[in-house]
Amino acid sequence: MRAEVFPVPQRLVDVGKEEEQEETPPPCKTLPALCSIPRSLVISPSLGGTPVTPHLTESLRRILFGGTFHVFNYEWRKSFFQFREPNSELSFALETDRGGARAIQMVVQARIIKYLLFSRQSSSEGRTLHSLCEVGQREQEKALAAALSDSLWLAGEELSATVTLVTEDYCITPHLDYKLDNFTERLQLFTFNKKEDVRKFIHDHIQCFKEEGSHGVILFLYSLICSRTVDRLREDLDSSTSHLLYISLGNFVCRQALMNLLLTGRASPHVFNGTLYFGEDSRPLERPLQGVLTRSNVGYLHWSREQMERGRLPQVGSMLKTPRFPVWVCCINSSFSVLFSLNRSLLSDWKMEHLFHLYFYNGQPAQRTAARVTVDTHSHHWEVSPRDSEGDPEKRFPSLEMTIRTKWDGAAISWNGTAPFY
Instruction: Tell me the pLDDT of the chain (422 aa) as tens digits.
Output: 444 433 333 333 332 333 333 333 333 333 333 446 888 889 887 888 999 998 999 999 999 999 988 899 999 999 999 999 999 999 999 999 888 999 999 999 999 999 999 987 655 545 778 888 889 999 999 999 999 999 999 999 999 999 999 998 776 665 657 788 888 999 999 999 999 999 999 999 999 999 999 999 999 999 999 999 999 999 999 988 999 999 988 889 999 999 999 999 999 999 999 999 877 777 778 788 999 999 999 999 999 999 999 999 999 999 999 999 999 999 999 999 999 999 999 998 888 889 999 999 999 888 989 999 999 998 655 554 444 455 555 567 899 999 999 999 989 999 998 888 77
Strand ranges (E), 148-233: 161-166, 187-192
Within-domain flag for 421: no
Within-domain flag for 10: no
Within-domain flag for 122: yes
Q: Contact, 120 vs 143, CB < 8 A?
A: yes
Count of structural domains, the chain: 1
Within-domain flag for 34: no
Phi, psi of 223 (to 5 degrees): -60, -40
Within-domain flag for 98: yes
Contacts of 13 (CB under 8 A, 6+ apart): 21, 22, 25, 170, 173, 174, 180
Q: What is the pTM of this model?
A: 0.87
Question: Coil, strand or helix: which one is 244?
Answer: coil
Strand ranges (E), 214-254: 245-248, 251-254
Q: Contact, 23 vs 10, CB < 8 A?
A: yes
Domain residues for the domain of 139 are: 39-414
Within-domain flag for 110: yes
Q: What is the dihedral of CA 196, 202, 206, 212, to 10 degrees?
A: -150
Within-domain flag for 341: yes
Within-domain flag for 29: no
